[in-house]
Amino acid sequence: MSEDHEAPMINGVEHETGKEEEVLPFEEDDYGGVIVEMKTPMDPKCFIATLRYSFTQWRLQGKKGVWLNLPLTHVNLVEPAVKEGFRYHHAEPTYLMLVYWIPKADSTIPLNASHRVRVGAVVLNPNNEILVVQEKYGTLRGLDVWKIPTGVVDVGEEIFTAAIREVKEETGIDTEFLEILAFCQTHKSFFAKSDLFFICLLRPTSFDIQKQDSEIEAAQWMRFEDSASQPITHKNGLFKEIHRICSMKMEKSYTGFSTKSITTFFDDKLGHLYLNKQEMSNHIS
């Protein structure tokens, strides 16, 4: 960046010179990079001077990636940061993360989140009825199509928890998670991002429907054969597969993935593994 600083002589000289001797507060990451989170407001000029001085230090220390987290309240520093060579990495409603790669070698900055994750909930009751809804919005609105409850997995939420939550929200029905029957990946589903849709099998533990008014037009228990014989089930690949898998499941000739809590390899983080557990327990026993 600039080792050749021409310090202003009058008007705040002392202040800026002072800042130039300070490095922005940062933390180190595990990959030779630094993370700067701007917590206190800063004047853009002062920010640039401090940033430039920080870069001279980080270069000397052989640092690689520089992450810069600018909260929404520090939006005045976005333009200066980009002009100093930062690029956007990702953003959430309250902050923008920028990044700068120092070495001449190719960047190993990890990619941004690439997928949205959704769930569809298959809830079958002991009378061979399936829980279905009609939505107020979306492409199937007004087409008299009955579909399984669906929704988006929240940040930090487990897939099976999301399925239970969506069913409760849309229909008032309580459920227990049994299996992931299948999942589907599509691309460019949401801006440039991809979509992973997990079809979850749930067992109902309550039966009285209380539908949500904001998003759901109607909800009911429907005879499974009636749901399977809707014209859309024959026309649409995913609808058809869901019903086909369900009928095999009802005949007990299909096994999906159920869950097991584990620790993962890299950092002993707790996670959930989804695997063919039924065969596994057969194997073990």
C-beta closer to a second copy: residue 206 or 236: 236
Long-range pairs for 224-233: beta carbons < 8 A, 24 or more residues apart = 224/124, 224/128, 224/129, 224/130, 224/250, 227/130, 227/132, 227/146, 230/145, 230/146, 232/140, 232/143, 232/145
234 binds a second copy (CB under 8 A): no
Of 9-17, 49-57, 216-224, 258-266, the segment contacting a second copy by CB under 8 A is 258-266
128 binds a second copy (CB under 8 A): no
Query: Are the beta carbons of 72 and 95 closer than 8 angstroms?
Result: yes
159 binds a second copy (CB under 8 A): yes
C-beta closer to a second copy: residue 207 or 274: 274
Query: Are the beta carbons of 206 and 174 closer than 8 angstroms?
Result: yes
The burial class, CB within 10 Å (0-12 / 13-18 / 19+), for 24 is: buried
Q: Which of residues 44-63 bind a second copy (CB under 8 A)?
A: none
> Among residues 27, 28, 225, 279, which is the contact residue for a second copy, using CB under 8 A?
279
Query: Are the beta carbons of 171 and 149 closer than 8 angstroms?
Result: yes
C-beta closer to a second copy: residue 125 or 189: 189
C-beta closer to a second copy: residue 57 or 212: 212
Between 72 and 111, how does the x/- string for binding to a second copy read (CB under 8 A)?
Answer: x--xx-xx--xx---xxxxxxxxxxx--------x-x-xx
229 binds a second copy (CB under 8 A): no
212 binds a second copy (CB under 8 A): no
Q: Which of residues 183-202 bind a second copy (CB under 8 A)?
A: 183-194, 196-197
158 binds a second copy (CB under 8 A): yes
43 binds a second copy (CB under 8 A): no
> Among residues 147, 164, 167, 170, which is the contact residue for a second copy, using CB under 8 A?
147
C-beta closer to a second copy: residue 117 or 209: 117
- Please give the angle made by the CA atoms of 262, 263 and 264, to the nearest 5 degrees: 115
> Among residues 68, 124, 163, 181, which is the contact residue for a second copy, using CB under 8 A?
181
213 binds a second copy (CB under 8 A): no
- Please give the angle made by the CA atoms of 92, 38 and 115, to the nearest 5 degrees: 20
Helices (H), 183-254: 224-228, 231-235, 237-250
- Please give the angle made by the CA atoms of 243, 246 and 247, to the nearest 5 degrees: 90
Q: Extract the tokens encoding 34.
A: 């630094």
